[in-house]
Each structure stands twice: as C-alpha cells, then as structure tokens.
Structure 1
C-alpha cells in the first residue's frame, strides 16, 4: 500500500512567516503541504479575524477512540485523490490520496488507532500513526469520548490593528460605483501624524502586536509626498513601540510613475490596483469620460518589470459580470493575486443605473472564471478572494474587522467604523482611545458574530463567509442579523471553489515531485 498523502492549504501560516513544506522522500511518509507560494490577499476591507490565528485540534493520545467527523463534504479528484471539507475544521481544503482516504474511512465507527491498523495491511505503522495525527489535527477524525466537537476558530483575538488612512477625497477618475463624495479635501501632515500616533497608541492599549496601514482615497498617489512622509513616521513609531508594521497603497493605477513604483518596492509597501477587465473603461473612466484601462494595464506591467507585484482588485457589477473570465485571465497571465468584490452599493448612486449583478448571471460568470483558473492553475492560492467577502483562508466568526480591529481616518482626522461610512464619523484621532468609541456604537449596522445571524447559525458554511458584509445587509434589509444578499451565490459555488483549490494543490504537488525527480 502506498503511503498516505495529505495536502492542505492554510493561508494564515505564511502570514506568520512559515515557509512551504518540502515533500519528504519515501512512500511510507505522510506528506503535509501547507499553502503553495501563497500571499496575503489584499482587499478594501479589514481582514476577518480568522486570518490572524488558526486553532488546530488539540492532540489526543493514541489510545483514545475516535471517529470520522460527520457532515464532511467530499469530491473526487484525478488519480484517486479526493478533496475533503470539514465545516468545523481549521483548513478549508484537504486533499487525500487513496491511502489517506482509506485511513479516514476506517474510522467510520468509533475505534482506537490500534484497532484500525490491522485492517490496513501493508501500511507502515509510523506512517499510519502520523496520518491519524494529521487527520485528527484537521478535525477530520474526532475523539468520541469526553469532548464535544467544536469549530477550529482563532484561539485569541486579532493581533493586527488595521487602519484606513484616507489621504484625500480627490480623484482623477469618475468610477460608476464610487461611494465617495469627491470634495477634493486632503489630509495635512499634522493630521496624518496625529492619526498615526492614535493608531499606534490604540494598538498598544488593546494588546495588538502589529499595525497595518492602508493608504487610500480618493487617489492617494495625488499626494505621494504625504504618503512618503507618513511612511517614515510609521516606521519610527513601529521601532519606538516594538509593533510590527504592514503597509499597502490602494491605487487606481493611473498616476504611478517609475519613481513611485521604485519607492514602494524599496520600502516593502504592497500595492493594490483596481482592475475591472474589458469593462474597465466604462466603469472607471477619467474625469471627462476618457478610458483609463490602457494606462492602468501599462502601470501593472511596469510594476512587474520593476520587481513589484501588484494585487488586483476586481469589482463585479451588472456591467462587467460577463467579462469576468477575461479580467481573471489578465491577472493569471501575469501571475498576480486578485480578489473579486461583488458590488455593495454606493449609498449615493442613482437608481437609474442598477449596478447589482443578477444572481444567475453572476453565478454563470463566476463558473466561467473558475474554468479559466482550472485551465491555468497557479502556484499560489486564490481561495481567499474568489467569492467576495467569503474568506476560505481560515475559519472566522466575523466577516471583517469593523468594530473590533479597524479604524477609518478621514482627511480631517475624524474616525469612522468602515470606509463606506466615512461620511458618518464616530470619533477622531485626538481621542485617547478611539477603538473603544467604535466598539460601543449601537446605531446603524452591527458587525455581529455569525452565530447571531438568522439562517446563518446553523449553516455548515457559517465560519467561512461569516454572513457576508453586514453593512450591505443592513442597507438592503434594515437589519444586521440576516444573511448576505449574495448568500445563494456563495452557497452555490462553495464546493466548486474548494474542488478547484484541491486540483491546484494536487497539480503543484505533482510538479514538485517531478522537479525532485521522484
């Protein structure tokens, strides 16, 4: 009997600096493969808390009876492999070869490993026990006595405080779905410094270990000198406080010259660029109506040529839904990460131009996009960004960090809970503890844990979408405890996305084996 192979993808691991695991030699070994060349997904929201830390099931003794978890989702993959999803497990995607699947199924009834091993002749004892340990850690095997199965949720609160720094409300584009009033107001240096001091002060007060800054607007590169100044200030504060620092610029990609790109590369500041595919010109024209797609595409290619890999943010509306496969192909051709953001309403848009895509059209277009990905499976994972606010990177109770680990600072130093509510500030940067002020807001939408959302609390997918964007749900229903308006889209495509990631893991595991001459 060949050795068991267990592949799984845990995006949180590389965020903590872990490297890819090399496949060990010998058919008697268990192969455990965390994410392959994965990077953190950049989007316009604060990351859900599950991406901060994942709780693997506690180890259990070999004399403990265990059983295959109930409610597993399983789908066949090539070469007698299969993808397995455990709704309460720490990894969305687990790929098993035939031997590993046999081991899992041998525990269909409660048994100890010692009782099961004789039923699997030809399997090395050490390999069997390692496989059982990994299947147990992934919650695919569960103890039958003394423990109640529970979700593998983060063991602690988020460790990173994310702050959106709205450098300016000026922009050179007139995007059809923009939620901002473009007043032209720009943050001054004194306000920016006060904002950074408030952010780092808040992070220390609340026990965060790192700060993530999102330089945004408007178009932040309209005031690149301010961005550079704040970057230097942030570095000094990080050194002084001992906090980690991550930075990203959210840009429309039309004004980034070579000097700016070099600065971002050398400063290790990530770059996210909006790209909407063939409909880009219609959705994201310059002020005055001229298309911006050609310039943005050139910027992306120039960034790559200078050693800077931008992340692409694709907004899906009724106007570009059919061309979604082409937008995805553009990213894959360049080896770039991307995320698909479903239109969430502007709050000021005209009802004469409905931008919300029809559900059936959206599902059909997403399936076509998944087919494009399957044709050219990349060495990096995409499962954290294919279904809007769904993050299959790790289980989580909240869809975003609003009210928990997120600050949005406008050009005047006022602080809101969410960038889409930037015109409704709650506090300001001169407040001693702005995060507490945000956490006690009772009006408007509430970022509830998924267990408190109707029709979500019993859903098997609840810890992977966490109910979707609460602001959008509140805008459309007047309540925050309902599922996302995109719930049917999520549920329809969950398994297809998981299968796709299983194929990707299997493809690149095979490539590695070939490269190693195995």
Structure 2
C-alpha cells in the first residue's frame, strides 16, 4: 500500500524549487535578518508580467494523530477528484479545499473507497487485507492530513480567505519607460519615447510605501516594466536603491523583477541587477521564426538570436531568468520546441494565452480557436511528460489558472496591486494603463483603487455566472476579468476560455501525478501475515 505526496510544509510546497537556488539569487534586500523560510513563503508566485497577487483559500487545520484516533467516523471530502495517472496509480485531490494532490496505488485507493460513506475508524484497524492495524491507521491519518478525508460528525466548513500572500505583499508595476525596441504584434501599448523622470520615480516609490504602511503589508514587490525597462537601466538601479532605503526605513521586505524583451541586456546591466537581487523575466514566444513572427524589431528584423544570447549571458552570471510565453495561433505549433529549449536550460516558465486588445496588429494571425488551443497544448504537454522537471508546474501550464493553491481572484487588481505610469498616474492593470484612477500625489493610492467602482471589477469567482458550482473554480477563478469584459460586457461571468481550461485541467494534473511518481519517495506499508 503506497502513497506519493509532496512532503514539504504548506508554505514551502508552493516554492519547492526555491530551496535549490543559491542564496545569492534571492530577490530580497539584505537590510533585515529575516528568517529565510518566512521570506520564501511570501514569494508565492513565480515572476511574470501580470498582476498575479492572489487571494488564497485558507488551508484546513488538522487535528493531531492522537486526536484522530478518537474520531467517531471519517468520510471522503467532497468534491473528491480521482483520475488515473499511470498503470495502477491514481491521482486524488479536492480542488475546492486544500488542493493537496496525492497519488495512491490500488490498495491505498481501495482503502480510501471504504470511506465513500461515513465509516467508523476502529472498524478498519485490522481489516485492510494483509496490513497491520497500525499501518491502516497511518494511511488513514495521511489521507486525513492531506484533506482527502474529513470528520463526518463535523459540519462542513466554508473555507474563507486568509490574510496571507494576498494581505502581505503589495505588488506594483512601475512603468519606467514607454519606449521599446520591439514591435510585438499583441502588445497593448502605444509606444513613444517617454521615460519616467527621476523625480516622478522617487515620488512613486514614496507613494508605494505609504500605501504599504497604510495597508499593513509586510512586503513590497516592484516590477520594473515598460516599454523596455532595460533601456533605462541606470534609472532602474537608482529607483531600486531608493526603494531599498525606504524598505529599511519602514521595516518591510523588498523584492523586485525586471520585465524585459531580452534583446539588449548587457553584462554591465546584469551585474547591476544581480548586485541588487533583482530577478529577470524574459518574454520568449518560440525558437527562431516562431518567436520572430510576433516579436520583431521596429523595422521587422528577427529578435530571437539576441534573446537567446541574453539568456545564455544571464545563465553564465548565475541569474536564471523566468520565461513568460504568450501563446497564439501564430506560435502554437512551435510550443513543443520552445519547451524543449526551456527544459534543457532548467528555466521556470508560464504559458499565457494571447488576449485581444485595441493596439494588437495582424489579429488574424494571433486569434485561436478552442479546439486548436487544446490540441496545441496537449502536444506541448507531451514534451513535458518526456522531460519532467523536478519542480511542480501547477502554476505554469494553463494561462492564468493556478493549481498550486485554491484562490478566489485571478489576480490582485483592486486588492493588492497597482500600476504607475510614466507620468505618475495610477491604474488598476497595465493592460488598461490608459485608464488612470488616481495619482501618486494622494496619501494612499492603493486605497483609492480598492474603493473605485469604475473600470475593471475583479469579483470573486463565487459571484461569477457559470463558475459557482464548477469543480475547478478555485484554480481557474473565472479567468482574466478584463478579457471576459471585453468579450461579454460583464465581469460576473465565466471566462470565454472556460472550455479550454476544463479540457486541460486533467492533463495538467496528470503531469503533476507523474512528477510525484518520478521524484517523490512513496510512503510504503508492506503487507504482512498477522499473528493470532
């Protein structure tokens, strides 16, 4: 009887790969002597180019094993999701509660199935064929601790939001320049040569920390963006140095990411980033022509070879970039080759679907159909199955969906996220950066965004039509609110990509099950002959 599971604590499980990083690659300032695990538990999501601060569902608090021994009966949690992930191996999870994923063999599954109706625990201490009573108890305890079983006598509890990542991290998009050396076909910005002045940048940082203090945040995460932020690298360095001083003054943690197209990052720039513990996110949409089709230079020349050079340069300086992939009709066929490229370099990544916008060009080459996307993603998943990484991919595989923890909002818009443009205007989302709600001159710009009832409304998935009873609702959360509004005229309805998500969730879960089978050591209970 065997069970495979993620043995790390809940906070660390979301960052299971972070422990493998060299401490010099940490993106936290060294101004405070904080506990390392606490720091890592705050950096929940991988770096990306979106407002991905999420509100998560509170994890269950389980009684001790000694308390479990006195429970009158147990029953399977509902809904309980079970699917085959290999021969005689079964993936099991409850997507609406803890979302902890386990893999069971046939014998362990047979034991679990005895709890389809409420079952007195003492009645099972021995009858599991060939297993000692203590082994049966240990397996039942593991299933209970993972949220697969619950106390049938207790009334099911609705899991509310907890003040963790959502309440502790304020994430801010700093639009340090509107200039860019590329002309990506799907970009949502009208480019020009405007840069954020130093005075505006410092005033923006002041406003950020005022909001962080007013909102009782414990960490500020800055995303230096544009345009192409690396074009004003000296400004980025100066702003970050100023932010570091304020973080120390306010007693807050500070982390940061440079979002870049990757074509012009010099060795000098990389050294500046590394000295300041600023991570790097690179946009890469394919290998060779598949990237160049939708991310050319201004005059139309190819850009891939320059991005490839930058990635090699970053790796040579022990600053592994995070890869953000925008998937469209144009590059979908090249996704398998791109994943081989990414996996060969052991890079973290996310696969994000193209979103139509007013600034996009050649839309007919970008727009995709549901079945086309599903087939293309399945082809990409086959590559992942052939080259499974040790790290979990639960937050990487399905657009903005995140299977690593239940949550109620797709992003942090209107909650713990704001965008500051090059003039000091404050918007809710970078895709809607032209719609500024306030400015950095107000005392608490984040509070103004939180109270605003115009523009993007990032409602809970429980308020969305078509989502309320869906098994996957706390992983998908109804998709990007801005895209949904653009396509339907409503914020309180399911994503137009809903059918894609539903088709791919089982595929993504299967990959996680295979990963656990490949890299996790099972907890094994050996059948034995019991003495009378």
Q: TM-score, normalised by structure 2?
A: 0.87
Partner of 2:27: none
Q: Greater CA deviation, 90-99 or 188-197?
A: 90-99
Partner of 1:103: 111
Secondary structure of 1:312 counterpart: strand
Map Cα deviations across residues 359-389 of structure 1 (whole Å, 9 max, x no partner). Answer: 1111111000000000000111112021101
Partner of 2:69: 62
Map Cα deviations across residues 300-319 of structure 1 (whole Å, 9 max, x no partner). Answer: 11111111110111001121
Distance 2:16 2:340 in 1: 29
* Inter-CA distance 153–61: structure 2 relative to 1 (3 Å threshold): farther
Distance 1:204 1:329 in 2: 44
Please point out which of 458, 467, 472 is paired with 1:461. 472
Partner of 1:471: 482
Partner of 1:399: 410
Distance 2:77 2:84 in 1: 18
Shift of 1:54: 4.7
Give the 5 Å matches for 1:267-346: 267-278=276-287, 279-346=290-357
Partner of 1:30: none
Map Cα deviations across residues 194-224 of structure 1 (whole Å, 9 max, x no partner). Answer: 1111111111111111111101000000000
* Inter-CA distance 414–130: structure 2 relative to 1 (3 Å threshold): farther
Asked whether the equivalents of residues 49 and 281 of structure 2 are also in contact (C-alpha less than 8 Å), the reply is no
| 1:414 and 2:425 aligned | yes
Count of residue pairs brought into register by the alignment = 496
* Inter-CA distance 68–472: structure 2 relative to 1 (3 Å threshold): same
Shift of 1:496: 0.8
Distance 1:204 1:450 in 2: 29
Asked whether the equivalents of residues 177 and 195 of structure 2 are also in contact (C-alpha less than 8 Å), the reply is yes
* Inter-CA distance 478–77: structure 2 relative to 1 (3 Å threshold): closer
Map Cα deviations across residues 271-313 of structure 1 (whole Å, 9 max, x no partner). Answer: 1000010411111111111110011011111111111110111
Please point out which of 237, 243, 266 is paired with 2:246. 237
Q: Give 4+ residue runs of structure 1 displaced > 6 Å after superposition.
A: 8-11, 16-21
Q: TM-score, normalised by structure 1?
A: 0.89
Asked whether the equivalents of residues 173 and 287 of structure 1 are also in contact (C-alpha less than 8 Å), the reply is yes
Secondary structure of 1:427 counterpart: strand
Give the 5 Å matches for 1:62-461: 62-64=69-71, 65-78=73-86, 80-91=88-99, 93-151=101-159, 154=162, 157-278=166-287, 279-350=290-361, 353=364, 355-461=366-472
Asked whether the equivalents of residues 3 and 127 of structure 1 are also in contact (C-alpha less than 8 Å), the reply is no
Shift of 1:236: 1.0
Distance 2:335 2:93 in 1: 27
Asked whether the equivalents of residues 456 and 482 of structure 2 are also in contact (C-alpha less than 8 Å), the reply is yes
Map Cα deviations across residues 237-285 of structure 1 (whole Å, 9 max, x no partner). Answer: 1111111111111000011011212222232211100001041111111
RCO greater where, 1 or 2, for CA within 8 Å and sep 6 or more?
Answer: 2
Distance 1:405 1:456 in 2: 23
Distance 2:326 2:13 in 1: 26
Partner of 1:26: none
Q: Greater CA deviation, 215-224 or 156-165?
A: 156-165
Secondary structure of 1:215 counterpart: strand
Asked whether the equivalents of residues 219 and 253 of structure 2 are also in contact (C-alpha less than 8 Å), the reply is yes
Shift of 1:105: 2.2
Structure 1 stretches lacking a partner, 5+ long: 22-34, 514-518
Shift of 1:80: 3.1
| 1:44 and 2:49 aligned | yes
Distance 1:352 1:255 in 2: 27
